[in-house]
């Protein structure tokens, strides 16, 4: 009888332990976000894509065509955390929701193409960039400060901490496992099938062809007009430059962090831009290409993309 009692207790404990394990498995499954989701239900809420931890080589090899000195030395980076990244650059419609909700009116003035040259025009802004856009086009003429303000608003709206990506996070996301010049390979002749760049379609706008193909768009294109990269992110090449968190500090990666964090210095006179715009040719569309500008700068080819760190 004492042995039977011990068996009963053990069986009861085993059932309880099994129930606990199954409950924990269920909790983990529920906590794992889907590959694509959003934090609020309004149409103005951006869709997110989950990126899992990984390692990659940041920068370009010395043999890469079009390489510049500030893209090296090539160095390993370990992203040891999960990221939720907006599936596309933030659109005009999404930015308009922020403007209406906050009453904030971003100041006018934008560096725009006037048919002959890039020139700051006080009449240009995110609503009037100098060319027609839909609400599905990426917002342009947005400064780094305004990108930060939009991220703050979206954070308050959703209860999650949104922010621009670090430069390392951006390249990790853009490469999506690729070590080539572009996410789709090394052949620049394939650019027009994958991105909105300065091509034959832009001849009427720019009076020159930088990439000899035709993507069908002279200025910005609605997001998702081109295939996503291997991780489901759109417009990581072309369409609009994207602000990132890093200060542009050095002309090389000699002291760059290797953990995905952003370079922050004081004073931070310039911030880094990534991705290339609708007016740029093949060299500037490369995954390793880096640009930079004053945080107050607004340009008709510059927008933003956001991310948040997942637990």
The CA-based angle 219-115-143, given to 5 degrees, is 55
Q: Residue 33 — pLDDT band, cuts 50, 70, 90?
A: low
**What is the structure's pLDDT at 10?**
38
Comparison of pLDDT for 2 and 193, the residue scoring more: 193
**What is the structure's pLDDT at 209?**
63
Predicted model pTM: 0.87
Q: What letters, b where the CB count within 10 A reaches 16 and e where it falls short, cover 98-133?
A: bbeeeeeebeebbbbbeeeeeeebeebbbeebbeeb
**What is the structure's pLDDT at 260?**
98
User: In this predicted model, what pLDDT tens digit does every residue of 231-287 receive, in sequence order?
Assistant: 999 999 999 999 999 999 878 999 999 999 999 999 999 999 999 999 999 999 999
**What is the structure's pLDDT at 27?**
35
**What is the structure's pLDDT at 208?**
63
Q: Residue 204 — pLDDT band, cuts 50, 70, 90?
A: low
**What is the structure's pLDDT at 7?**
42
pLDDT at 302 over 80: yes
User: In this predicted model, what pLDDT tens digit does every residue of 208-245 receive, in sequence order?
Assistant: 667 788 899 999 999 999 999 999 999 999 999 999 99
pLDDT at 26 over 70: no
pLDDT at 9 over 50: no
> Is residue 274 exposed (0-12), middle (13-18) or buried (19+ Cβ within 10 Å)?
buried
**What is the structure's pLDDT at 115?**
79
Please provide the average confidence, as pLDDT, over all residues in the chain.
88
**What is the structure's pLDDT at 188?**
92
**What is the structure's pLDDT at 18?**
39
User: In this predicted model, what pLDDT tens digit does every residue of 80-133 receive, in sequence order?
Assistant: 999 999 999 999 999 999 999 999 888 779 999 887 889 999 999 999 999 999
- Kindly state the average pLDDT of the residues 147-175: 98
SS (H, E, C) 79-138: ECCCEEEECCCCEHHHHHHHHHHHCCCCCCCEEEECCCCEEEECCCCCCCCCCCCCCCCE
Give me the helix-helix angle, 144-158 and 92-102, nearest 10°.
70
- Given a contact cutoff of 8 angstroms between Cβ atoms, the answer to whether 305 and 200 are in contact is no
**What is the structure's pLDDT at 299?**
97
**What is the structure's pLDDT at 117?**
85
Least-confidence region, from 111-115, 186-190, 202-206, 211-215: 202-206
- Kindly state the average pLDDT of the residues 130-138: 96
């Amino acid at each position: 009888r004492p042995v039977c009692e011990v068996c009963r207790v053990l069986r009861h404990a085993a059932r309880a332990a099994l129930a606990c394990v199954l409950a924990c498995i269920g909790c983990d499954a529920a906590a794992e976000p889907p590959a694509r989701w959003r934090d609020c239900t309004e149409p103005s809420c951006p869709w997110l894509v989950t990126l899992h931890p990984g390692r990659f080589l940041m920068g370009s090899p010395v043999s890469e065509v079009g390489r510049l000195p500030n893209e090296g030395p090539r160095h390993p980076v370990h992203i040891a955390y999960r990221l939720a990244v907006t599936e596309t650059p933030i659109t005009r419609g999404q930015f308009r929701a922020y403007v209406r909700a906050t009453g904030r009116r971003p100041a006018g003035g934008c560096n725009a193409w006037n048919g002959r040259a890039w020139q700051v025009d006080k009449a240009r802004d995110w609503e009037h960039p100098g060319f027609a856009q839909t609400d599905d086009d990426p917002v342009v003429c947005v400064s780094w400060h305004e990108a930060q303000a939009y991220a703050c608003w979206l954070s308050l709206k959703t209860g999650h901490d949104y922010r621009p990506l670090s430069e390392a996070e951006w390249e990790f996301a853009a490469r999506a496992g690729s070590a080539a010049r572009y996410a789709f390979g090394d052949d620049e002749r394939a650019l027009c099938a994958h991105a909105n760049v300065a091509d034959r379609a832009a001849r009427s706008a720019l009076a020159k062809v930088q990439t000899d193909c035709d993507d069908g768009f002279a200025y910005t294109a609605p997001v998702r007009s081109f295939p996503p990269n291997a991780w489901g992110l759109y417009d990581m090449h072309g369409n609009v430059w994207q602000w990132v968190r890093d200060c542009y500090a050095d002309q090389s990666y000699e002291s760059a962090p290797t953990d995905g964090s952003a370079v922050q210095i004081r004073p931070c006179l310039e911030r880094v831009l990534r991705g290339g715009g609708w007016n740029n040719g093949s060299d500037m569309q490369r995954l390793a290409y880096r640009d930079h500008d004053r945080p107050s700068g607004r340009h008709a080819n510059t927008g933003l993309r956001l991310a948040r760190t997942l637990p």
